Structure 1
Amino acid sequence: MTEAINDWMAGFEARIADLQRKSADLQQNIAASGATATSPDGGVRVTVGPTGALQDLQLAPSTTRYPPAELAGIIMRVAAEAQREAAHRVAQAFAPVAEGTDAMRMLQEFLPPPPEHVSDAPVDGLPGVDDIDEPPQPSTPPPSPPPPAAPPRPPRRPSTQDDDDFEQPW
């Protein structure tokens, strides 16, 4: 009986040691699960931590050619790419501990979907990295505002001339 208890205890201790090793590996792998993404032209570089929190943003001088709204869109796409990569790395780190469990299935359900292809072409009509073979699309100017209305005319005064004036030769 003592031998059976000793065998059970040895197996239990081995499982605990394995879980401790996996836990330490998990912590280390999650800590290293941040990601960095760069725009296709290399002008925007975003680094996020394992939670997807922004850790670094670098903009090359070439990004000044973009209008502010367009640059913001490029930054958001690159940040989303880095966050997606970080989320997948966290899931990979979690897999050895939770493979086949409900927790792992739930985690995988919340992973970000693959990105939609969005062109990096600036609004100014210059080709972006994805659009070099495509001709630039002409932009139409916004419609001009209607001309201002003419001010109202003052009413005409009645004539003060007398039509019955016979002193005139005509």
Structure 2
Amino acid sequence: MRDFESRITTMVEKASSLDEALGAATATARSADGEVRVTVGLGGALQEIHLSSKSQTLTPRTLAAMIKETYDQAALQAGNNSTRALADVFGEDSEIVQQVKANRPPEE
């Protein structure tokens, strides 16, 4: 019975640590000249897009491409942050971390 209680306590502690770590797994990226700033959360959820006054000089097509590129950078960073959070809780060699890494898109 004590072994079971110990395992439950460990699982609760890991879940709490994971919840905190994943909650902080956001990332912000900026375009090269600062026209666009994008913040992305867990799972690639878009949290914020900020367009500076410099962005007003761009064509709609250029601005759209810049937003997408900046989003992609932030999403990749957020994914890396999430993977690190999982590794911190479950260990770098754990099955869940290995599965997440195997399913990540390749970095360009």
Q: Which interval holds the TM-score relative to the shorter structure?
A: 0.7 to 0.9
- Report percent identity of matched pairs: 34
Deviations 1:83-116 (A, max 9, x none): 001111111111122642333221101223223x
Largest Rg, 1 or 2: 1
User: Where does residue 101 of structure 2 map in the other structure?
Assistant: 108
Name the structure where helix makes up a greater proportion of residues: 2
Rounded to whole Å, the distance in 1 between the matches of 2:16 and 2:95 is 22
Verify the 8 A CA contact 1:49 1:86 in the aligned structure 2: yes
Rounded to whole Å, the distance in 2 between the matches of 1:89 and 1:53 is 14
TM-score, normalised relative to structure 2: 0.87
Verify the 8 A CA contact 1:35 1:50 in the aligned structure 2: no
- Give the superposition deviation at 1:52: 0.6
User: Where does residue 52 of structure 2 map in the other structure?
Assistant: 60
Count of aligned residue pairs for this structure pair:
107
Verify the 8 A CA contact 1:88 1:111 in the aligned structure 2: no
- Bigger relative contact order, structure 1 or 2, given CA contacts below 8 A and separation 6+? 2
Rounded to whole Å, the distance in 2 between the matches of 1:99 and 1:18 is 18
Deviations 1:1-48 (A, max 9, x none): xxxxxxxx4444333222211110001111111111111111100011
Name the structure where strand makes up a greater proportion of residues: 2
In structure 2, do the counterparts of structure 1 residues 32 and 17 end up closer, same or farther at CA, with 3 Å as the change threshold?
A: same
User: Where does residue 23 of structure 1 map in the other structure?
Assistant: 15
Does 2:69 align with 1:84? Answer: no
TM-score, normalised relative to structure 1: 0.57
Which stretches in structure 2 are left out of the alignment for 5+ residues? none
Deviations 1:109-148 (A, max 9, x none): 1223223xxxxxxxxxxxxxxxxxxxxxxxxxxxxxxxxx
